[in-house]
Amino acid sequence: MKMGAGSPVQKAHARTEGDEGEEQAEEGEEQAEEGEEQAEEGEEQAEEGEEQAEEGEEQAEEGEKEGEQDNAFPLQMN
């Protein structure tokens, strides 16, 4: 029995390969979406880190000012 280019077996095989390609494309899209979500989460964490750093700097400045005030008015013990 001779199988030509358009035999049912070859057509079925081509359909299977096409379905696999679609599945891989869908998986690729899902992975891309997950990557975008992770990137957004990373950006949010970076922003939170920057805010915390700014708060830390402000607290350090306040601490320095308090230290200067303490030195300006030393307690005198008699």
Digit-coded pLDDT (tens) for 14-41: 678 888 999 999 999 999 999 999 999 9
d(C-alpha 27, C-alpha 33), whole Å = 10
Whether the predicted model's global pTM rises above the 0.85 cut: no
Q: Looking at the predicted structure, is the pLDDT value of residue 76 above 80?
A: no
The closest of 33, 30, 5, 9 to 22, measured between CA atoms, is 30
Instruction: Report the alpha-carbon distance of residue 12 to residue 67 in Å, rounded.
Output: 82
Cα 7 from chain centroid? 49
Residues of the chain with pLDDT > 70: what percent? 73
- 67: confidence class by pLDDT, cuts 50, 70, 90: confident
